[in-house]
Structure 1
Amino acid sequence: MPERLAEMLLDLWTPLIMLWITLPPCIYMAPMNQSQVLMSGSPLELNRLNEEQRILNRSKRGWVWNQMFVLEEFSGPEPILVGRLHTDLDPGSKKIKYILSGDGAGTIFQINDITGDIHAIKRLDREEKAEYTLTAQAVDWETNKPLEPPSEFIIKVQDINDNAPEFLNGPYHATVPEMSILGTSVTNVTATDADDPVYGNSAKLVYSILEGQPYFSIEPETAIIKTALPNMDREAKEEYLVVIQAKDMGGHSGGLSGTTTLTVTLSDVNDNPPKFAQSLYHFSVPEDVVLGTAIGRVKANDQDIGENAQSSYDIIDGDGTALFEITSDAQAQDGIIRLRKPLDFETKKSYTLKVEAANIHIDPRFSSRGPFKDTATVKIVVEDADEPPVFSSPTYLLEVHENAALNSVIGQVTARDPDITASPIRFSIDRHTDLERQFNINADDGKITLATPLDRELSVWHNITIIATEIRNHSQISRVPVAIKVLDVNDNAPEFASEYEAFLCENGKPGQVIQTVSAMDKDDPKNGHYFLYSLLPEMANNPNFTIKKNEDNSLSILAKHNGFSRQKQEVYLLPIVISDSGNPPLSSTSTLTIRVCGCSSDGVVQSCNVEAYVLPIGLSMGALIAILACIILLLVIVVLFVTLRRHKNEPLIIKDDEDVRENIIRYDDEGGGEEDTEAFDIATLQNPDGINGFLPHYRRGLLGGISQDAA
């Protein structure tokens, strides 16, 4: 029952409260002139206005209004009275009619055409339309003639707090570095309120945090969010959810509110050093592993992320620093240990390394926490492997004289099995490198012998490959190159370097150099060639020529006298003995041909044959050739003339088509064979001279007999 009573009282007083709220803006208007009267019927207000009218001089008549107000969202049982239009021309005789036009006239606002009362017949929303402009007019009720000029007025919709704040861009995300100091700004958020920010506190917002304390705080008016705790650690908690509230009415009780969420992520800083997962690592590796092979991996974990977790790895100590290296894997963030030099199980069976992991990017703010690095120990055990034989030298150089005897030992190679259980070794020659099979090798001791004779002049070097194979495991083999140099012995005599031919001028002078010759030797002595030249013993006192040794190891031939003559002797042969400096020395005899020639006054050779010598003096070789050509041409003309003459006389001998030779065969069937052939010359039948008696008598008689028979 009390609840029902309260509802009845609320229904009764609500229109009165709304009327009380609405009327003051209509009452307190700008000063009115004497011709205006308030639209309200309050006696107190009428007395006040009447007093004002008595004070002011009445200048003209007009409308009585200024601005009108209507409360939004009012929904009473009756239309709400907005205000009243009234003109001082209205004596109350009800002869005036009020007309309303403009925004919402007739649909939202309705006027009583007799009293001028304006009512809002619909529920209004200021956020949709804040004010309406209308036009009022008073006309005569009977004639509809205007009593006053039309006049505009405004009805404003008065705001009430009917819109809650809204965060239009939420939910929000922000990032702040971990370990930030207290009060570090994170971000700011903004809410909007559709209510009127000018009228009242409906749009005055105050911000607060509902969830996210004590880590973050917010400034109530600016909504700037800051850290409320210093040194928050990302590794402890990376993400925080903050619930933010915006409340209107200045945060007072009864205001409306809206909320949003802010996700704050702590970004990483390098505040943690790397840490090895274990302090000691063990790895095993075969001794025959290939260089560059990865032996193992070590990893230092870092609670940081990204580049703050990147570390470089180094070997800082140990007995294997020369054999091993470590590289950093940027993707896996670990260190890879690799082999730099070959291992030998028989020499050393284990190694110890000390490795270090250090951060690459250091944050100076946290350097006081200590070095951002860590160390670990790595033990590497070398395992035995079946290794191939090892030669005592990576290459061999052998020397042998070219006159070495067959089957003589020219050198030896040695190899051993480096394994603990050493296997015997067998040696062989790779015949692809010794196609002519000039060498042999002892399979047991590796001694190399000569199989075929050598000739340094044909080949100075021989390169072969020796193979060493384990007897217990034929797959374990090694190869070594062997270079064999053939040493020279003096087995070739010297001789002329080329085929020399000397020319001696008849008008030469005594002591003149006729020719300079040099010698060559296929051998190659260590100290170079040195030749000795001499004449044959029986020609040691040669009356015509002598020889002279030059400093460049060549020989000059000189003439002893002048007056050499081609008619007397055209060619001289001078044997020269050439000896080398070998041990024992070898020699050979080479003969120099010297031709006597006719030369010009300046020593230029012109002719070297005897026939040219007997020609008329002053006649050149070109002139002789021209004369000879003319003679040959003349002979050719004579032969052609005789031949044409013979062809012209042939019809005088043979007058018909019968061949004379056929007649001879017919009438001389029993000839005497060769005797007849010798006695008869068929050419006579075609030669008129033979008929005229130039042949022997017996031939003429035979020809005459034949001719008679033929007739």
Structure 2
Amino acid sequence: MLNMQTRRRQWRRDSRCYLRESSSVATFFVREDLEVGAVIGSLQVVGDPSERGDISLSLDRGDYAVTIQPGTSNITLTRALDRESQALDGHDGPSSVAVRVVCKRKGTSDPSIKIPVNIRVQDVNDNAPQFIGAPYTLNISEVTVPGTVVLQGIKAVDADQQGPFSTVHYSVIEGNYAEYIDFANGLDGTLRLKQQLDFEKVQQFRLTLRAEDQGDPVKSTEAVLTVNVIDADDQNPRFYDDRYVTTLPRRPVQGNTLTIRPRRVRAFDQDIGINAPVAYTFTADGADSRYFAIDPETGDITIAETIPDSELLQPITLVVKATQQDNGDRYALTTLTVRREGVFTDELQFVQGNYVASVLENRPVNSVILTVITNRPGDSRVRFFLPDEPSQFTIMRNGDLALVDSLDYETQDRLNFSVVATDGRQNDTAMVTIIVLNVNDWDPRFRHPSFDFVASPSSRPSDVVGRLTVYDGDRGDRVSLGLMGQDARAFSVSKEGDLVIRDLSVLNSSVAHLVAVARDSGVPPRRSSVPVTVRFPQELLGPSTRAESSLLLMIIFGVLLGVLILVIVTLALYICKYKKDRARTRRTSPALGAKVASYVNNSIPHEKLEAGSGPGSPRASHLGSLVVDLDTLNVDRSLGTTATVSRGSRRFARGAAANGSLRNPLANGGDLGSRSLQSSASSTFKPAGSVAGWPEGSIPKRVKKLSWEDEQNRSLRSVRYPTGHVKTPLEPTIQEGPGPQEHHAEQTELDPDVSVTPLPNTPSAELEQSPVAVYF
């Protein structure tokens, strides 16, 4: 015993191979870009792992991504790690490492100790975004209005963990044609048209798209977007020359074809891909045009009727119109000046007194808006100027009115000015009206590039945490605001831009991130977005969380309390029912004796009892005792009316009666009906040898009393039989409780450890007058 205690003390003092600071697991954090062969960390274990030390360290397996340097506690990396398990170089390393280090105490036979070691891999920006479905192709019509979304669904995925390393920003790399298309939002892969396209200038071009993450350093990838420009009917027909001149013959008769300079009147569709045919007509309804006719298909001009010598003494101007046959809204105009041969007038005049033109506000600078024409189109002495000097326009020497500055519908939607033609001696003036057409060329603009709000500790639903200020430069456009993002469900935004708290229960963090989106009412609509951050005090979100937890605990406690009450009620009902059944059993117990007596009477034949019970029978002088063990007597206590005796007991009774060992007390004229069957506790026996045929000591030492309630000290009462009853003493009558004449002041309980021996065969008057005692 002393040696055992000594060993236990030594075992307790030996703390080798245990981790310091009473730790059970060693944990290391390592970046996934750690080089192979680098030391991850040193295992803080009690003991010296060197060659001469008192412990040795090793791994339980050899297939780990780490190892322990011999003679040290340093854990070294043997295989590359990868937090995402999908490295770009194709080498997939483990995203976490869990090993077990085996520590062996030197100099002892103690079993080794296995120390769990967890190595957690931290994410680094080692993956670049990858475009899905690249390269991309876009077919776009040249009539698409700038600002229209032309392509959605461009997406790049970064394999790094959620956070800055996997947040992708999109852009178009600067270069040729980059001014045509850009991303509507850097965080969304939606492309929009930035500048008007023209099929006649460019039919196809390529753009380079870039997707980069927010890591440091940044990782990016590129994809190619091929844009095919589809020709559309966006161009009016055009004449080959701006103006034409013809001279009437000396005798202008009907049917003569006029010679036009500088060439025949011809027009073509500027939409090269469509090249729709055109039809020629005169636009003027004046009297002068009635003398001429134009072929709708060829444009040839002839004299419709003979012109009198008194007509057309002055030059006249005819306006020729070329209209697309498939689209009447597309047409072009030119002028044809007709004069008589040998007739000249020096009066300078504009062909039209008023010029009107409608121009989109995004019309490119240096575009020709219209051309003013005089009756001297070839006169080099004629000059044009603008006396009102509008800053947006200038007029060329040939009468072309060109745009020199951008138009703005929001500033001025109509311009009226005059143009003057002069040859140095004569002047003429015409009015010009320019109608500016609105274009949705402004994106909604937020006041700040991002919004950061801090909610007060007393904030509640329907409270305003801040205002999102946004405006649109297009006149008449209305801006509507919306919210996007995972935390957008907790807020709503009003028409005025107030950010209102709607439901704080959906937030799982004290910082809410969402995106505010502004959309205008222009055609097509434009939109923009900014990130919004709302910070909540921790105590503002805490009570609701604790309240939810308390409510859950109350519900669980209520369910358990209900189950407990149900169990208590069920147990109470069962106890009440059990007590009622016991009371009913006690009330029915007096009838049990009669049942037992009837059963015994039917079990022993009368002949055998009467044969050995005559007055002259030698066996009549002996008192037989019958001992019945309760183990062979089964009574159904629930019914209280059934008693059974085993087959062995019945055979024993019958055999005793046959060989004369069982005496019939009726042979001596005894009245069993007036006698009582005394219990073994109240009977006095004087053993005097063995009963004939019944060896001494055959009665078991333990004799049980026939009693339902031992704890109430109820003893068996006497069994009384009526006079002349022929049944055996094995048929007792059992009574519950003492009767009025059966109370005994003194009762002696038999010692269960003392053997009871049957009475001797010697008869006596006292025994013959005593009732037969039956032991159960």
TM-score (norm 2): 0.28
Q: Tell which structure's C-alpha radius of gyration is larger.
A: 1
TM-score (norm 1): 0.30
